[in-house]
Chain A
């Protein structure tokens, strides 16, 4: 069964460093998402991406964040200058054009900022 994959599973970085979180969505899907979950808190929407552009972003998704689909298979989230409060689990999700609502999630990347 097709699945969404994410790498790395755990990333440790120093405050102020740049990180890139990678996702490979399901191959025929058209809509892509990033969510995050700070430990003990709810899963929060960050950004959605369709047709090679951002379709919606939350207040959390400020100028330090960017997304890219560089090669037609990977979908990346870049955090330019990490802060302590960026420590969280980051989930990638994708959905097809015909599956109106169902999003398929990856296993997540745990980001720890020291």
Chain B
């Protein structure tokens, strides 16, 4: 079945460092891809998405490009802030599915130190 694999955490960075969180997927069709973020004590929030190959999703300085050839959707940010500390989840949804359920990776904890 469909699955998402993302890099293990925690990832600890200093403020203004460059961030990459790797995500790869396995899917039979042409999924949509997402990054969700969970701040401490809060629910999952959509950070960005891409619905087809070569699309780039971006929001709040974060970017991810849908790479069909490498089945990847890596999350990047050029300069992280302390306020970016959170758990980041990569997810996919089969666009052809009736319910558009989300399939998540395990999550990556990012800790940004001042």
Query: Residues on A close to B: CB < 8 A?
Result: 4, 6, 31, 33, 35, 41-45, 48, 50, 55-56, 91, 93, 95, 100-108
Complex contacts, B25 vs chain A, CB 8 Å? none
> Contacting A103 at CB < 8 Å: which of B89, B102, B105, B106?
B102
Complex contacts, B105 vs chain A, CB 8 Å? 42
Tally of A-B residue pairs with Cβ under 8 A? 62
Asked if A43 contacts B46 (CB within 8 A), the reply is no
* Residue interface bits B31-73, CB-to-A below 8 A is 1, else 0: 0101010000111111001010000000000000000000000
Prevailing SS type, chain A contact patch: strand
Counting from the closest, the 3 A-B pairs by CB-CB distance are A48-B99, A105-B44, A43-B104
Given A106-B43, A108-B43, A101 and B95 touching (CB < 8 A)? yes
Is residue B113 contacting chain A, with contact meaning CB distance below 8 A? no
Complex contacts, A100 vs chain B, CB 8 Å? 95, 100
Asked if A55 contacts B99 (CB within 8 A), the reply is yes
Asked if A107 contacts B102 (CB within 8 A), the reply is no
Asked if B107 contacts A42 (CB within 8 A), the reply is yes
By beta carbon, the residue of chain B nearest A44 is B104
> Contacting B93 at CB < 8 Å: which of A50, A91, A101?
A101
Is residue B103 contacting chain A, with contact meaning CB distance below 8 A? yes
With both chains docked as a complex, state the minimum distance between the C-beta of B89 and any C-beta of chain A, in angstroms: 6
Extra contacts, 12 of them, besides A6-B43, A103-B100 (Cβ < 8 A), are A33-B99, A33-B101, A41-B106, A42-B105, A43-B91, A95-B100, A101-B32, A101-B34, A101-B51, A101-B95, A103-B102, A106-B43
